[in-house]
Amino acid sequence: MSADVRDPGLQPERTTLAWRRTLISLVVVDLFIWRSWLTSEPSSGPVGAGLPGLDFQGICALMAAAATIVLASVVWIRSRQLQAGNTAASARLVLISTVAVICLGGTAIAAIALGG
């Protein structure tokens, strides 16, 4: 057995399901951030008078959407990798997903802080 080949049992299927469950929970966080932005008062000022998206809540919503799209791409790539074989995830893929999760968590914290 080579070093990069994983357990040939049901592990790849369980891993794919875990990645999908994680993505679903992150989409829920994303939706809460979007709801917070949509229910917040529009920004007031000469630049963003009443326009949604020109405030910090809108920036948080866009960052959350970007992080969710990155994570959805990672889940899709990893699912395809596991269907093709049961090799370990690349370090680059793990790094990208870690950075996206940290960004989404920071965005959620910022959205809560700015919403209250």
pLDDT in tens, 5-20: 555 667 777 777 888 8
With cut-offs at 50, 70 and 90, classify the pLDDT of residue 1.
very low
Average pLDDT on 25-36 reads 83
pLDDT of residue 80: 84
Q: Which residue has the higher pLDDT, 56 or 97?
A: 97
* pLDDT above 70 for 105: yes
- The answer to whether residue 3 sits within a structural domain is no
Specify the 3-state DSSP secondary structure of 3.
coil
- The answer to whether residue 80 sits within a structural domain is yes
Domain interval for residue 97: 11-115
Q: What is the pLDDT of residues 37-95, one digit of tens each?
A: 777 766 554 455 555 555 777 788 888 888 889 988 988 888 888 777 767 778 898 89
Structural domains of the chain, count: 1
- The answer to whether residue 2 sits within a structural domain is no
